[in-house]
Amino acid sequence: MEGKEIKMKINYHKQAGSNITSPVAANDIVINEAKNEIKRGYVINCERLNVRDQPNSNSAIISVLVNNTKVVIEPDYQLAEENDWFHITTEIGVDGFVKSEYIEVI
Give tens-digit pLDDT for 42-82.
999 999 999 999 998 999 999 999 999 999 998 876 555 55
Question: Which CATH superfamily is 30-105 part of?
Answer: SH3 Domains (2.30.30.40)
Specify the pLDDT at position 32: 38
Give the pLDDT band of residue 36 (cuts 50, 70, 90): low
Sequence ranges of the domains in the chain = 30-105
Specify the pLDDT at position 89: 95
The Cα-based distances of 48 to 3, 36, 65, 67 in angstroms read 39, 28, 6, 7
**E-strand stretches of the chain:** 12-14, 21-23, 39-43, 49-52, 61-65, 70-73, 85-90, 95-99, 103-105
| Dihedral sign, Cα of residue 63, residue 40, residue 105, residue 76 | negative
- Give the β-pairing of 12-14 and 21-23: antiparallel
Calculate the average pLDDT of the chain: 75
Specify the pLDDT at position 2: 47
